[in-house]
Chain A
């Protein structure tokens, strides 16, 4: 390769490294924000659980169990699969591993004689599914790097509606579970029917054991509307919370995955530059040697 060509290539690899470095830093900053957002969901979910317990107690026994989103459908024919992917690529295996897990799960379900209804968040998941000629029942795009409650609300209502109307008998969500900035694990979770564990207060035995026994006389609690109705509205909120948690974790994972991918891209670019520089030096040396040989040969010819 001529010296000039190698020089050009070094230049373009250096430019690429600048871009990947910048992307790495952007992802690192966004990752921190996404982590914070994921953490701030917890107090909300805990408070929601406590309110639900209060409403469930007031509504009377059996009310909570009777909530439609907690019901297992007797016959599971159609399973909704929600793939949580990113809007953009350049994040290593982030999107492809979700898709792979989704297709594998679909094959399992179909082997069991069930049919699959696809849902997707993120442009990557949607385009991969449509490219493979799967029909996507609903898709949600444009927010995957910073999802908020409104997005989760929209998705949850669609899924809860379809579930309660018996169009789907079960909903599973496949997303990248956030372990650390470097590690994301593909995780599959059943979103509907909602597990009772999600609704119940965790590790709070003192509160569970006869709360009426504490303190003296208690004022009567007002309910607007009545407890059963509040309960009916509170319980589906947990679907939203689970969903939002998955979306937020996926967003944090996305930034982590992109950060890692961009870091290795930058490292790789450095290696490529080193190799090319070596090649360029060799080419230059070869050229000089060639010239010297020509001069010497010319001088010898004169003698």
Chain B
């Protein structure tokens, strides 16, 4: 029982990332009809917003410490972050420690801008082209973006730790009456799960309870009729592209303490997120979220030693197996709507 609970918990944080990426993908597909293979790159750029924030906060003043020497025997250069000089070591240190949560404030405008530029600069030229063309151009864009990031940040993972208050783990086992250490869960993963629920609720709330959201939903259902009513639906869809980019970016920012960011991390999530979208049902926002969590948890279960010993390699193919089964039994996915991507 404890092993099952443990794997459900483990699946939640990865499921959260899948759900957030798939939510953005579905928003773009549902509004603009574009299959955006650069969406994983937006997740990765979000993660590097956290790295950038960390670097900004640690821009340092260099002083020479004559009492120590560096590896070449020269007087040691000591770097002290300006933030610590300005606010004192305690407050300055705390600001640097909270670089990842603070990066959210930095990432939102950056990601919305990147989303706007991507949509207006490139993707809008491919609205009327076949999906295959859209996939090719967005996939190419993803490769360009990751090479740009690699050029500036290098190829190796960059440590981006969570605030000290959220390091360590929480013993759920004790809370549920199990032995100590039976079910432990890192605090930051718990934060990530709660954060993703807040973002998902905010996106749904925005679409459900605002006039803007109502128009967007109407446009998703019948673009032409909304246009005939004199509403500039294209402009709203462009804004939705920016919002989808911000959602992917925020998912990336908060994921950095879980996996040290590297330029390739977007690709690692992209393919699985597409499977999530297809399993959830193309164009269905609740379907994307549901499938994200479902596949995250199933993937976690498949990594259990007991299951791997029965079916070796199952952890690598479980998502695709489930996708096949669901698509065979429900060809439109779990919550797919009739007419979406159907000629």
A and B: partners?
A: no
Residues of A within 8 A of B (CB): none
